[in-house]
Amino acid sequence: MKQRWTNWGRNQSAFTKGIISPSSEDEIVDLIGRGVANRWKIRPVGSSHSFSPICVTDGLIIRLNAFTQILNVDREQLQITVGAGITLANLNTELENLGMALPNLGDIDSQTLAGAIATGTHGTGHKYSSISAAVIGLRIATGDGSIIETSISRNPDILKSARVGLGALGIVISVTLQCVDSFNLKGVELTTSLNHVLERFDDEDMRSDFVEFYWYPHTEIAELKINNRTNDPPNAGNRVARFLNDEVLRNVAFDCLNRYWKYFPQHAPGTFNRTLKVGNTQTRIAPSYKIFCSKRRVKFVEMEYAIPRECLLEAFHGVRKITESLDSPATFPIEVRSLGADDIPLSPSFGRATGFIAVHVYKTSDHRKYFDQVESLMREYDGRPHWGKMHNLTWEDLSLLYPEWEEFMLIRRRLDPDGHFSNAYLERVLGY
């Protein structure tokens, strides 16, 4: 009997041959063999947080829910090996207990580790890189039934590409991470004028650790987030105010408003202007992951592009013009941030300091016109799409954007020459 799979954003679904959670490596190998024998495509799936069709298949879906254990800890080298199915939320807690932390994190922590690195999930900060850049070892089950160990000294060419592998190289079973000592962040969230943010952003981005801003469409208001390392002890601040802000306003109330705006979109700009308080500042000190990550319960669909950092603010102004020209008002903030370069062949930040611009729409809203216009603009800047988010590019487009594209393809042809781990999305973006 076929099983239905649906992603978190409710914009992707599939009827599969089965959604299976193996309990051992032998079972993973057997499942791969079964899929190959029946000519079923095989896709690994984490927490289903991708908005692109990267996980969609009518074949087998493999979840690594049972692969969440801490397998090895090297406290001296600050390295840890974990099951690939562990969520970032649980990994962060385990690392804190060990006095360790990941150097950088994104906003959402519900993804599995394997899913996060497969799509190049990133945070912010020009001195830092994505989660994938912290990967120093992988254990991968391939299409021929073999299991490959990779590290800096063992199969390093495979490791280099597999750190952002799109689930196209096999099933990642475990991940070894280079961590850092645990650290606290002082997080400052400032609601102010957009002009003030734009005047301040470049300077703040260069001198602070982690900086990003959100612009509220159809207003002159933005929220600037500045997170800096600190030796000061945690200070939770006003817990009631934070609960009201994070849970009531940003989740419950925001969901209700988006439901209302679906029928009365003309009221969205006025609501933003009435409710956002310029000059409001919130400050908190906490372990890094508690500052980086927040709960996102309002479901949405997202497009995000990576462009050269030097073009970031210019491109933002272009997105702003697009947003203001829409027939129906945008109801989600536009997110702007930067990241350092890395050397991972399919990383959106490969070889260049990178700026990211993300646009969102509510789960039931039509995103096509909005996203198509933003994508057209991003292509003018040689934009690279986030692999887990919506885009329309093909392998002919993408191969021109990644200098080491062929290096990745050589590894793929080595590990999965017949495309057992492929699907329609990978055929579009990788060529088979």
pLDDT, position 244: 46
- Are the C-beta atoms of residues 114 and 162 closer than 8 Å to each other? no
State residue 105 phi and psi, 5-degree precision: -145, 160
Spatial neighbors of 101 by CB under 8 A, at least 6 apart, are 92, 95, 179, 180, 181, 182, 183, 287, 288, 289
Reported as a single tens digit per residue, the pLDDT across 373-411 is: 999 999 999 999 999 999 999 999 999 999 999 999 999
What domains are defined for the chain?
184-385 (3.30.70.2520)
Of the chain, the percentage scoring pLDDT greater than 70 comes to 97
Count of CB atoms situated within 10 Å of the CB of 191: 18
- Are the C-beta atoms of residues 126 and 133 closer than 8 Å to each other? no
User: What is d(CA 125, CA 113) in angstroms, rounded to the nearest whole number?
Assistant: 20
User: Minimal CA–CA distance to 49: which of 429, 389, 424?
Assistant: 389
Reported as a single tens digit per residue, the pLDDT across 1-20 is: 689 999 999 999 999 999 99
Q: Tell me how far CA of residue 301 lies from CA of 1, 109, 368, in angstroms.
A: 30, 17, 11
pLDDT, position 248: 47
Reported as a single tens digit per residue, the pLDDT across 142-200 is: 999 899 999 999 999 999 999 999 999 999 999 999 999 999 999 999 999 999 999 99
Instruction: Note the Cα 376 to chain centre separation in Å.
Output: 21
Question: What is the 3 state secondary structure string of 32-77?
Answer: HHHHHHCCCCEEEECCCCCCCHHHCCCCEEEECCCCCCEEEEECCC
Say if residue 301's pLDDT is above 70: yes
Across 365-370, average pLDDT: 94
pTM for the model: 0.95
